[in-house]
């Protein structure tokens, strides 16, 4: 059976989809997302530093621990992890106070990992408990910055989503109406089949399903008949009238 020709109505969904641009192409969103990534990477570095301090403290206290080999391997992995970039594009002065504070913490010194620990240089035998406490304090600052920056991103996404919805309003309405018309036509065709079967039986004949096969469709049962007030398809029509899609 040859394929039907594409009509203007069939092309409408493609025109509607063409209005959708990627959110990360929005400069404001891209900049906000970059800031969030820097904060998240910074938090990961702090958590690695804290883990290293905990392991170092444990090994200093229990050098013959049966798990010493695995712990030293964990230390090595933490130390070999590439530190994230401390700089971020954009103007942090426009950021919420919690974000600006977190960014300043991450950019505070040349020895970034030492700065994250809250000290200017690591002593030969550091006070691991103090280092851990400092790291936990810094992590709290970064987490607060992440939460604030996530709110910035959510706000940008919300505004952009509202603007996109406005652009898509007409095309979306057409698709919803097209969907209903298809359901309406399907229900009408089902009614016609039922009427034909009833007329055959009313005329005294048997209905020969072997000669006149009909597929059984749950969709037909769900949609029902538009003449039935309680049917699904009738309810859809009333809803679309209330929404102003069917005038």
Per-residue pLDDT, 215: 84
Is there a contact between 34 and 95 (Cβ–Cβ < 8 Å)? no
Per-residue pLDDT, 87: 59
What residue ranges do the domains of the chain occupy?
23-164, 168-242
Distance CA 33, CA 212 (A): 61
Distance CA 132, CA 202 (A): 88
Per-residue pLDDT, 116: 42
Which has the closest alpha carbon to 49: 136, 109, 140?
136
Which has the closest alpha carbon to 60: 75, 49, 47, 45?
75
Per-residue pLDDT, 110: 33
Which residues in the chain land under pLDDT 50?
1-3, 6, 90, 109-113, 115-117, 119-120
Per-residue pLDDT, 124: 57
Instruction: Give this prediction's pTM.
Output: 0.73
Distance CA 65, CA 62 (A): 5
Per-residue pLDDT, 12: 58
Instruction: Read off the pLDDT of residues 166-202 as tens digits, 9 standing for 90 and up.
Output: 999 999 999 999 999 999 999 999 999 999 999 999 9
Is there a contact between 42 and 102 (Cβ–Cβ < 8 Å)? yes
Query: Quick one: DSSP state of residue 246?
Result: -
């Amino acid at each position: 059976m040859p394929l039907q020709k594409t009509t203007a109505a069939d092309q409408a969904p493609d025109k509607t989809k063409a209005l959708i641009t990627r959110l990360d192409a929005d400069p404001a969103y891209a900049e906000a997302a970059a800031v969030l990534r820097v904060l998240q990477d910074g938090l990961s570095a702090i958590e690695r530093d804290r883990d290293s301090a905990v392991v170092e403290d444990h090994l200093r206290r229990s050098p013959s621990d049966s798990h010493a080999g695995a712990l030293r391997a964990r230390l090595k992995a933490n130390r070999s992890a590439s530190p994230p970039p401390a700089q971020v594009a954009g103007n942090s002065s426009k950021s919420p106070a919690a974000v600006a504070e977190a960014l300043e913490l991450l950019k505070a010194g040349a020895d970034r990992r030492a700065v994250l620990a809250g000290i200017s240089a690591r002593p030969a035998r550091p006070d691991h408990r103090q280092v851990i406490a400092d790291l936990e304090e810094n992590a709290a600052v970064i987490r607060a910055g992440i939460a604030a920056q996530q709110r910035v991103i959510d706000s940008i996404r919300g505004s952009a989503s509202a603007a996109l919805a406005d652009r898509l309003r007409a095309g979306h309405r057409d698709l919803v109406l097209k969907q209903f018309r298809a359901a309406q036509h399907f229900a009408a065709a089902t009614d016609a089949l039922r009427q034909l079967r009833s007329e055959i039986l009313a005329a005294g004949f048997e209905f020969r399903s072997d000669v006149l096969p009909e597929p059984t469709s749950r969709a037909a049962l769900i949609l029902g008949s538009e003449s039935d007030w309680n049917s699904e398809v009738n309810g859809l029509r009333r809803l679309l009238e209330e929404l102003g899609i069917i005038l």
